[in-house]
Amino acid sequence: MTDKNFNDLNDEELILEFQRNNTERAFEILVQRYKNPLTNFVFRYLGDYEACVDVVQETMIKVYRYKDTYQSIAKFSTWIYTIAGNLAKTELQRRKRRSFLSINAYGKDEDETYEIPDENYRPDDITDSGIKDEIIQKAFLKVSESYRKAVILRDIQEMSYEEIAEIMGITVGTVKSRINRGRAQLQKLLKHIHNE
């Protein structure tokens, strides 16, 4: 199968191709398709770009490694968003613990490695155009985790209620309720922006 043909395949066909024939090209196309949506989703959830990139990398590695656990009855997007959401949640919990413990342990770790910073656009950089984004992002982080996730998936990732319900493992009614509660919290937090 040529490269052009692979690009014509949908997500489910690509993952099946990767499962059956271990075609790495199919996996690469899936990575190309999902790296940005997942980065956007995880960044809005975590609020930390570096951590978000790590989580998305880990998500892709999990897809690569556990490709056989995917079942064609589910949508690929639902599966990959579920993995990313779970990893992001774990990362959030880890960060909370670390922030609590690292106050006294700062600078003691000798094995710390340094990475060359990426010079591309980073949303957490404070620029004139990004001030509003930053305020919204800070407000987002104040919203309850479960509400935040539902709101991101609905209003930023523009997913259907059914997909969100499947990703979060809850009913559609609960999804709607959480979205509205999250929006209500955001409205309170962003009142000054809306009044301008």
Partner 1 sequence: MNLNNEESQYSDVVKTLKGLQKVSAPSNFEADLIRSINSGKFEKKERSFWATFLLPSRLIPSAGIAVAAIAVLFLVNTGNPGIEENPLLFPPRVREDVVASKEVPPPQKTKVEEVNPEAKNKINKESVPPPNVSKNNSAYALNEPTSQDSDNSTLGITITGPNAFTTPSNQSMVSFSNGYPINRNGLNYMQRPLTREERAQLELLKKQLIEMMKELNK
Whole-number Å distance between alpha carbons of 10 and 89: 28
Q: Write out the residues near partner 1 by the rule CB under 8 A.
A: 28, 31-32, 35-36, 38-40, 43-44, 49, 52-53, 56-58, 60-61, 64-65, 118, 120-121, 123, 130, 133, 136, 151, 155-156, 158, 176-177, 180, 183-184, 186-187, 190, 193-194
Q: How far is the CB of 131 from partner 1 (least distance, A)?
A: 12
By beta-carbon proximity to partner 1, the closer residue of 104 and 120 is 120
For residue 102, CA distances in Å to 49, 95, 96, 132 come to 20, 10, 10, 30
Q: How far is the CB of 85 from partner 1 (least distance, A)?
A: 16
Q: What would the two tokens of residue 188 be? A: 């309170």
C-beta of 33: minimal distance to partner 1 in Å? Answer: 11
With 0-12 CB in 10 A as exposed, 13-18 as middle and 19+ as buried, what is 152? Answer: buried
Nearer to partner 1, 112 or 158 (CB): 158
Count the alpha carbons within 13 Å of 77 in the hemisphere toward its beta carbon.
16
